[in-house]
Amino acid sequence: MNRKPEHEIIPEVEINLYDYWKVLVKRKKAFIGIFLVPIVIVTIISLSLPRYYRGESEISIPALPASNSPSVITASNIVSLIGNIDDSQKVKIFKNPDAIDSVTISIPKTSTDKVNIIVEAKTADVIPQAFKEISDYINNLPEIKEENARIKAENDFKLESLTEAKKANLFFLNRITDMLKKGQISVVNVNPSDLIEKDANLSLQIKNLQMGKVAVGKLAPASITRQPTNSRIKQIILITGLLSLFAGIFVIILLEYIDRMKAREN
């Protein structure tokens, strides 16, 4: 087995975290400066940004009656139909668009039948009205209005059929009951109690259809912050801190590497 001469053997470089720590301690002033300066600058700029009141609410999507065609009134479809509400949409939706800073519409992670809405505004008093205007805007979307009309037509047809069935069942029940009272018949194949139960079930179905209002859903009460805040300040500072940390480590190690290369050349 051939062995390399000792002068050709390159010693293995051991990666020791303690060596990196000693480098950071050695150049701690430069590291702290690289780390803190961007954070201080970003914090000052962020705190000078406008602060807004934040309101949050949800729209619950109702359980729609069974249908042969799929409904577009779902949380995912509503979010995709609205998209991001930009300045041009604000003018269409809100009576006071200048008071609204941003609107975020999404689906909560814990539910698939709700639409989460977050509104940031200059004053807290405009937020409840903003939620109502968003709800009205959703209900007046062409796709939603068309779907509402289709569901209403189906409900009206079902309601008419149930009403006719109830009338026929009630007429038959009254006739059987009257004939039994007069003694015209003594035994019947149909039990009057079954007809009474059927009438009650039909009445319940009719009542549900009459009370059921076709709409996107019910808007939950909004939760509004008592004091204006800038929800993005913490996120911006955190991201800046992480970037500054990695940048500081990289620059310090790079400087140490350059110094060692110069020392080796000398």
Tell me phi and psi for residue 120, to 5 degrees.
-115, 125
Per-residue pLDDT of 24-41, as tens digits, reads: 888 888 888 888 898 899
Where exactly are the structural domains of the chain?
17-49+230-265, 53-224
Question: Which pLDDT value is given to residue 243?
Answer: 92
- pLDDT score of 177: 81
- pLDDT tens digit string along 90-109? 888 898 888 898 888 888 87
Does pTM top 0.85 for this prediction? no
Low-confidence ranges of the chain (pLDDT < 70): 1-16, 62-72, 183-190, 211-217, 230-232
**Contact (CB, 8 A) for 82 and 143:** no
pLDDT at 242: 92
Tokens representing residue 187 in the block: 């035994």
